[in-house]
Structure formats: structure tokens, C-alpha cells
Amino acid sequence: MSKKVLYIEDNQDNMSLVVWILEDEGYEVVQAWTAEEGLELLARQSVDLVLMDISLPGMNGMEATRVIRADQKLAAIPVFALTAHAISEERGRIAASGVDKILTKPLDEEELVEAIRDQIGT
């Protein structure tokens, strides 16, 4: 059975690109357009990894990660942040929210696939 990745992203282009890349690698991708929608999905189905955009309408990716980390049933799920914010202070704040890895946009396809493969396999 293929590994399942939840991608929380409000940008259509990024969503399409990452879904295309990951499905091509054999992953199943569940899409959520807001953090709220993503958290709702996590409450109903199990996923192997969460890809979390940081800038989202409503709840942002750091807040959503803190919710995941505070929930006993979800706390162990790997969360990778996707962000265009490259400055180190911002990275520190993102890391402190509990993400396992920070990937910067524009996304490097190889880096994304390798990071996911290292974390959850294929």
C-alpha cells in the first residue's frame, strides 16, 4: 500500500506541482487548502507525513504544527514545513513549532523527494 502524504497548501500552482511529483513517486497525496481543513482530515484518517505550507489563510502552518504536536494521537507524525521565508530568525520560529524539517520554496524536486523518502520510505 502506498504511503500517504497530507499536503496543506493554499497556492494552486504549488499544490499541483507537488501532487504531480509525489504521485509520480508512488505516494498517495491528500490535499487540504487550509490548516483547519488539514487538521479535520487528520482527525478522520491516518497519514504517514504532513507537508505544511507556513503562510496560510486563517491558522498558519506553525500554529497547525503546534496543534499536531499537542495531540497525543497525532504527535508522532512527521511534519515538513514549506516556506519562502528563508531568514534565520523565521526558520528558528518555524523549527520551534515542532516541524521535523524545513524546505524552502521554490521547491527543489530532488530534495523534496529525498527528504520524504528518508523519513517514511516509499
Pick the closest to residue 2 from 32, 25, 31 (CA basis): 25
Nearer to Mg ion, 7 or 27 (CB): 7
User: Does 10 interact with Mg ion (rule: CB under 5 A)?
Assistant: yes
C-alpha span between 122 and 16 (Å, rounded): 20
In 3-state terms, the chain is what percent helix, strand and coil (to 5)? Answer: 45, 20, 35
C-alpha span between 89 and 91 (Å, rounded): 5
Nearer to Mg ion, 10 or 25 (CB): 10
User: Does 53 interact with Mg ion (rule: CB under 5 A)?
Assistant: yes
Stretch in the footprint of Mg ion (CB under 5 A) among 39-47, 48-56, 78-86, 107-115: 48-56
User: Does 55 interact with Mg ion (rule: CB under 5 A)?
Assistant: yes
In the bound complex, what is the minimum distance in angstroms from residue 107's beta carbon to Mg ion?
Answer: 13
Stretch in the footprint of Mg ion (CB under 5 A) among 26-34, 47-55, 63-71, 95-103: 47-55
In the bound complex, what is the minimum distance in angstroms from residue 29's beta carbon to Mg ion?
Answer: 17
**At 31, is the secondary structure helix, strand, or coil?**
strand
Confirm if 81 and 52 have CB atoms less than 8 A apart: yes
Binding site for Mg ion (CB under 5 A): 10, 53, 55
